[in-house]
Amino acid sequence: MATYNKLELDSLFSATNTDFSMVQILDETGKLVHPELMPDMTDEEMVELMTDMVWSRILHERSTALNRQGRLGFYAPTAGQEASQLASIKAIEKDDVLLPGYRDVPQLVKHGLPLSQAFLWSRGHVAGNIYPESLQALPPQIIIGAQYVQAAGVALGLKKRDKKNVVVTYTGDGGSSQGDFYEGINFAGSFKAPGIFFIQNNGWAISTPRSVQTQAVTLAQKAVAAGIPGIQVDGMDPLAVYAVTKKAREYAVAGNGPVLIETVCFRYGPHTLSGDDPTRYQPEGIQDEWAKKDPIIRFRNFLTEKGLWSQEKEEAVIERTKEEIKAAIKEADQQPKQKVSDFLKSMFEEPTYIIEEQIQQFEAKESK
Ligand SMILES: Cc1ncc(C[n+]2csc(CCOP(=O)(O)OP(=O)(O)O)c2C)c(N)n1
């Protein structure tokens, strides 16, 4: 036990900062720098992960174009966060429950949401929020941090039902300053509920930089006060994100309680496509600097070196993805125009008397 003078606040402070150094397996060039941390993944699984990441980058590019053409509504860019998003979702099981934020559409689709429905959600169509029974997920949360509280509750539900599953939820660096964030990890910790709580630290909460967000040296160390493990991982390194998520899942499913994971990553481009301009608040050159750490380049180098990836393979994935997106947008276009009565019907399993009355009023109007 360290001895220190309790009135020397500096020493008190440093004693809480133990080891939150970043976990990394592949460096920026794709070189294996920590082989001892290598996750148990087959060649096929690694190729699938790379395929998912390329898919996500193309989805990002096409979503941006479709938004600018007025064919999509809300869109929060995901480029730069592929390792953080796709490697974490790959490490969980289909029956685990996903509680995403608004930037987590790629994970939602990989967890089973039809892409056409994700597009309808972007357009604000009620059909985008009505999920297939088999999909263990809630629609993306817009209220910053709120999903953390919901995740704690869902995790407790899983525990009470003796399910060997986890809840996975994501917020951002900005979200880690919200009250809900602390309540969520504290509650889950208190009940040893099986949750994996991600903070995707992409450096910015709209125009607020990470350096202003908190004086905490890392966001992972926020786990200390909740009495749960906190891990910081290189969020541009798919193998590191996968390895850490797998471990966290094993830990939570074994009944040890939740884990907090900070993925250090970057969002290329604006916060959303609703008018944000990062050149007004980001230092010049920062986007280029982070582009050198790109998760896709890093994994491409690693897999190509192993003879598992090639330009032809990547081009085939790109073509396939573009076709998939084309078909999904077509399907979304075929969805009948939404009605106010549909919204009202989706509010409660059993509508209240007042809502029932409103449904009837709107249905009468809509049938004219
Ligand atoms: C409770 C609440 N406050 C404010 C907002 C407005 N808002 C939307 S996104 C955002 C920044 C979030 O940043 P961060 O958590 O770092 O996530 P990122 O968007 O960078 O992924 C804010 C303040 C909101 N949606 N909800």
pTM score, two decimals?
A: 0.95
Q: Which two tokens stand for residue 20?
A: 């939150």
361 and 237, same domain (yes or no): no
215 and 175, same domain (yes or no): yes
Q: Which domain holds residue 357?
A: 339-368
Q: Is residue 6 part of a domain?
A: no
358 and 217, same domain (yes or no): no
324 and 234, same domain (yes or no): yes
Q: Which atom of ligand 1 is nearest to the CA of 267?
A: 20
32 and 141, same domain (yes or no): yes
77 and 145, same domain (yes or no): yes
Residue 146 CA from chain centroid, whole number: 14
256 and 362, same domain (yes or no): no
Q: Is residue 3 part of a domain?
A: no
Digitized pLDDT (tens) for each residue of the chain, 368 residues in all: 555 566 777 666 666 667 789 999 999 999 999 999 999 999 999 999 999 999 999 999 999 999 999 999 999 999 999 999 999 999 999 999 999 999 999 999 999 999 999 999 999 999 999 999 999 999 999 999 999 999 999 999 999 999 999 999 999 999 999 999 999 999 999 999 999 999 999 999 999 999 999 999 999 999 999 999 999 999 999 999 999 999 999 999 999 999 999 999 999 999 999 999 999 999 999 999 999 999 999 999 999 999 999 999 999 999 999 999 999 999 999 999 999 999 899 888 899 999 999 999 999 999 98
279 and 356, same domain (yes or no): no
Helix runs in 69-160, H state only: 82, 88-90, 105-110, 115-122, 146-160
Q: Are 299 and 238 in contact (CB under 8 A)?
A: yes
Q: Which atom of ligand 1 is nearest to the CA of 81?
A: 21
Q: Is residue 8 part of a domain?
A: no
- What is the C-alpha to C-alpha distance for residues 29 and 78, in angstroms, rounded to an integer? 21
Q: Whose CA is nearest to atom 12 of ligand 1?
A: 205
- Report which secondary-structure segment, H or E, holds 246: helix 238-251
| Number of domains present in the structure of the chain | 2
Ligand 1 centroid vs 146 CA: distance in angstroms? 11
225 and 333, same domain (yes or no): yes
Q: What is the pLDDT of residue 349?
A: 87
Q: Are 263 and 88 in contact (CB under 8 A)?
A: yes
The answer to whether 271 is a known catalytic residue is yes
218 and 206, same domain (yes or no): yes
Catalytic residue among 57, 125, 271, 300: 271
Q: Which of 60, 84, 102, 144 to mutate to test the pocket of ligand 1 (most atoms within 8 A of CB)?
A: 144
